[in-house]
């Protein structure tokens, strides 16, 4: 947790209202002139959509399971590193997962792929994370301990 570089995380799966809540928060931040770094949890998936489709098929052939809910398909280490670095310095790297053609076209990419990693905007007031794993704790990672408001 960091008073100087606070982190807010809203967590939930599709349909839980996280995007609606995030849009409301963006409006509030704009009206209060708060400059936030917005992080999308999907950007910490390990695999592009075609890669994940392949991983799912492979898992099914072995009577196993993989999903975006678990650690196998997400890079919790990179997520925790971002939360740690942002809390300490206000810096970090982000990328976007491009869900649709509308999101992908400006990057000249296909849907289901990632943009390149880039540095967060300088001098943000806080970081706002929306996704599944903003409070994840497992045997190797504790993202939740870095969050000021979950």
Q: What is the second-level CATH architecture of the domain 7-146?
A: 3-Layer(aba) Sandwich (3.40)
Average pLDDT of 121-128?
Answer: 96
> Exposed, middle or buried: residue 101 (CB in 10 Å: 0-12, 13-18, 19+)?
exposed
- According to DSSP, residue 17 is labeled S
Confidence at residue 2, expressed as pLDDT on a 0 to 100 scale: 66
Average pLDDT of 142-150?
Answer: 96
What is the rounded average pLDDT for all residues in the chain?
95
Residues 87, 2 contacting (CB under 8 angstroms): yes
The structure tokens listed for 22 are: 């995030």
Instruction: Name the nearest CA neighbour of 44 among 97, 98, 90.
Output: 97
Confidence at residue 78, expressed as pLDDT on a 0 to 100 scale: 97
Q: What is the CB-side half-sphere exposure of residue 99 using CA atoms within 13 A?
A: 5
Is the pLDDT assigned to residue 119 strictly greater than 80?
Answer: yes
Is the pLDDT assigned to residue 21 strictly greater than 80?
Answer: yes
The structure tokens listed for 75 are: 């890079």
Average pLDDT of 75-89?
Answer: 97
> Predicted confidence band at 124 (pLDDT cuts at 50, 70, 90)?
very high
pLDDT tens per residue across span 41-81: 999 999 999 999 999 999 999 999 999 999 999 999 999 99
> Predicted confidence band at 13 (pLDDT cuts at 50, 70, 90)?
confident
Per-domain residue ranges for the chain?
7-146
């Amino acid at each position: 947790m960091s008073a100087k570089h606070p982190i807010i995380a809203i967590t939930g799966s599709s349909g839980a209202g996280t995007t609606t809540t995030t849009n409301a928060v963006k409006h509030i931040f704009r009206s209060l002139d708060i400059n936030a770094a917005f992080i999308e949890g999907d950007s910490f998936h390990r695999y592009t959509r075609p890669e994940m489709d392949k991983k799912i098929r492979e898992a099914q052939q072995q009577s196993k399971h993989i999903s975006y809910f678990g650690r196998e398909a997400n890079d919790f280490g990179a997520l925790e590193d971002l939360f740690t670095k942002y809390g300490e310095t206000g810096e970090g790297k982000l990328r976007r997962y491009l869900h649709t053609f509308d999101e992908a076209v400006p990057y000249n990419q296909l849907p289901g792929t990632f943009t390149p990693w880039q540095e967060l905007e300088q001098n943000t007031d806080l970081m706002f994370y929306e996704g599944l794993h903003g409070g994840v704790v497992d045997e190797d990672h504790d993202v939740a301990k870095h969050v000021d408001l979950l």
